[in-house]
Every structure is written in structure tokens, then in C-alpha cells.
Amino acid sequence: MSFLSPGIARTAALLLAIVGGALLPQLHEFGRAIPWLVAAMLFLVFLQTRLSREALHRSHGWLLLANLVMGFVGWGVGWVVGGRDVALAAFFAGITPTATAAPVVMSFLRGRVDYVVAGFMLSNLVITALLPLLLPVVLGRVTPEAFGHVLASVAWLMFVPLLVAGLVRRVHPAAKAWPAKLRNVSFGMWVTALLLITSNASHFLRQQTDLPAAVLPKIIVVSLLVCAVNFALGRLIGGREFPREASQTLGQKNTSYTIYLALTYASPLVALGPTFYVLWHNLWNSWQLHRVRAEPSDPSRSP
């Protein structure tokens, strides 16, 4: 038996990325690499995943509804707990669609990647279309330019890797074997992205010297509650067939979208809602990787 098993090594790598990012805020200067890393990871995921009607399940509809509801539930709870800023922070944390890295994480968790890909595409497309209508409700002003920005982000992070992967797979069918061979490379890209995301959050917090002392703890707690409810509710929606997949689809969030929106249309304080969500969902991912190493492999769970 080796001194450090692969499962423990992966968990340790994720935790070190979070701690390293917190201690090295200067790494935020390399934050522009994050979209490229995510796009590369998705390219590898799409190489081995065929999108089809069979991948869609009626639970995807419930997950989408829960995603939308959680935004407004968080908003309402935030108002009760701490007022407008806390409410908006919870809204942006809850309304965020499925993370671009969620299919990658599911591949490490040995689950149905095609299920998470379908949920990722559905939530990002629908919520992207609805955000220009929903934001005025919570912000009190119209934000028509949000649609174009978020749509452009979705196109780059989702459709470009999808189309390139489809083209490569058609021209070179053997490319479907690349993801398995490059599994460690993909994980390394995920760890690097997490390091840079955490560094960005650390840099942002260090720059905010005038944060209200009473509001910050409330935003931290509310974002944690939203994260915990998302993962638990997703597992409930997934039922016996897709518990882990549905939980990941609803719980792991593409916070880069809503951090941008919060910074642009609300305030840096509000942006801390989805920023802290990054920490919570990645801590949970680390725990899941720690647990899954002890589980026997189930070939039927692979797409």
C-alpha cells in the first residue's frame, strides 16, 4: 500500500489549493487563465460524452425550478437576516447556474457525467435568458446589457469546447480515449483553477477595508446555508437513480457569472455572497473525493 492513496492525494491537493489561494492573493493577477482552464477541462469532458435525449431526465426540470426558487428564497431570508445587501448576496449565490466544472467533478466522483452535462446546459441556457428579467426585480432597475455579457460567457465556456470536441471526435475517433489518459492532467487544471479563484477572493477581501463588521458574518452564514440546502435538495430531487449527480448539478455553482453581475450591478459587498459560495462548494467537493476513494467502482454509472 502506498503512503498516500490517490483519493487522499486529491483531497489534499484541493485543500492546499484553497489554503494557498487564501495566503497568496497576489496570484489573482493570473485570474485570466481561469476561463481557459475551465474550457480545456470541458473539452476533455465533451470528448467522452455524447449529448442525447436519453441524457435528459424529468428531474432536470425540477432541478432547474429549484435553482430559480433558491435565488428568491435566499433573497427573502437575507432580507430577514440582514437587509438589502445580505438579501442580494444570497440571491446571487442561489440563482447561479450549474458550474462549468461540475461535469469534470462528476467524472472524478465516478458518476453519470452525461446527466450533469445535460443539467449544466439546461440551467445555464435558461437562467442566462431569464437573468435580464430577474435582476430588475431584486435590484430595482433594468439591466439589459447583462444578457449579452452572460450569453457571451456561456458561448465561450460551453459551446466552443462542445463544438471543438465534436469536431475532433469525428475527425479522430480515437480521441474519445484521451480523457482517461489525461485524467491527472484534468485534475491538475481543476486544482490550478481553484487556486486562482481562491486567490481572487482573498485579494478582493484584503482590498475592502471598509466592510461593515456586522454584515460580513451574515453574508458568510447565508451563503453557507444556501450551499448546504442546494446540495441536500439536489440529492432529494435525484432520488435513488441520480442522487450524487443531481446534488452536484444543483450544488456546484458557476459563480464567476454572478460575481461579475454582483460587482457590476450591485456592490463589492454583495459579490461576497457568490465569492464565499466558491469556498463552501469546493470544501464539499474535497470531502466527496475523500469519501469516493473507498467506494467500489461501478461501471454502470459511467456514460
The CATH number given to whatever domain includes residue 156 is: 1.20.1530.20
CB 42 within 8 A of CB 157: yes
Instruction: Judge whether 98 lies within some domain.
Output: yes
- Which ranges of the chain does DSSP label H, i.e. alpha helix? 6-23, 33-47, 58-82, 84-95, 102-108, 113-139, 145-154, 160-171, 178-181, 183-207, 215-238, 243-251, 255-265, 268-292
- Please report how many Cα atoms fall inside a 13 Å half-sphere around the Cα of residue 225, on the Cβ side: 19
- pLDDT over threshold 90, residue 61: yes
Neighbours of 12 (CB within 10 A): 14
- pLDDT over threshold 50, residue 279: yes
Give 74-97 pLDDT, tens digit per residue.
999 999 998 999 999 999 999 999
In this prediction, residue 295 carries a pLDDT of 61
Residues 14/19/22/26 CA torsion (nearest 10 deg): -80
In this prediction, residue 237 carries a pLDDT of 97
In this prediction, residue 2 carries a pLDDT of 44
Instruction: Judge whether 303 lies within some domain.
Output: no
Q: In the structure, what pLDDT confidence band is assigned to residue 206 with cuts at 50, 70 and 90?
A: confident
> What pTM did the predictor assign?
0.76
Instruction: Judge whether 220 lies within some domain.
Output: yes
Instruction: Judge whether 284 lies within some domain.
Output: yes
Task: Report how many domains make up the chain.
Answer: 1
**Averaged over 54-58, what is the pLDDT?**
82
CA distance 137 to 68: 13
